[in-house]
Amino acid sequence: EVHLSESGGGFVQPGGSLRLSCAASGFSFSTYAMSWVRQAPGKGLEWVASIIGSGDTTYYADSVKGRFTISRDNSKNTLFLRMSSLRTEDTALYYCAKSLFYGDFWDWGQGTLVTVSS
């Protein structure tokens, strides 16, 4: 059974940094593209970033490009999201998600909450 568990969320001031982690189990982690998707309180879903199985190629939403970095450690079955220059509008529940292709999110974690506020 696929299991995704996010951690690392918390409270941070504008301009600050945070690193999210997503521990994966129940599948061959290095085979699949992984992504981060966020949801601001009471709002819809917003794709943030994706990384292919090998980790060689990454993709970002324009809203986070240059500020966020997605990476993975296939030896530890873990996905990361390094967030810097955080803004109040980055406040959201951040989900990690597993794809079969790219962007088709078959499995999701329960999310970790990031709050950016002064």
Partner 1 sequence: LVLTQSPGILSLSPGVRATLSCRASQSVSSSYLAWYQQKPGQAPRLLIYGTSNRATGIPDRFSGSGSGTDFTLTVSRLEPEDFAVYYCQYYDYSPGITFGPGTRVDLK
| Residues contributing to the site for partner 1 (CB under 8 A) | 35, 37, 44-47, 50, 59, 61, 95, 99, 101-106, 108-111
Distance in Å, CB of 15 to partner 1, minimum: 27
Residues linked to residue 20 through DSSP beta bridges, in sequence order: 81
CB nearer to partner 1: give 29 or 36: 36
Distance in Å, CB of 13 to partner 1, minimum: 28
Distance in Å, CB of 47 to partner 1, minimum: 4
User: Are 24 and 78 a contacting pair, CB within 8 Å?
Assistant: yes
Distance in Å, CB of 14 to partner 1, minimum: 25
CB nearer to partner 1: give 110 or 117: 110
CB nearer to partner 1: give 7 or 13: 7
CB nearer to partner 1: give 15 or 103: 103
Residues linked to residue 116 through DSSP beta bridges, in sequence order: 12
For CA atoms 87, 92, 98, 100, the dihedral sign is: negative
Q: Distance between CA atoms of 76 and 24, rounded to whole angstroms?
A: 9
Q: Please state, in angstroms and as integers, the Cα–Cα distance from residue 16 to each residue in 42, 72, 76, 118, following that order.
A: 24, 22, 27, 10
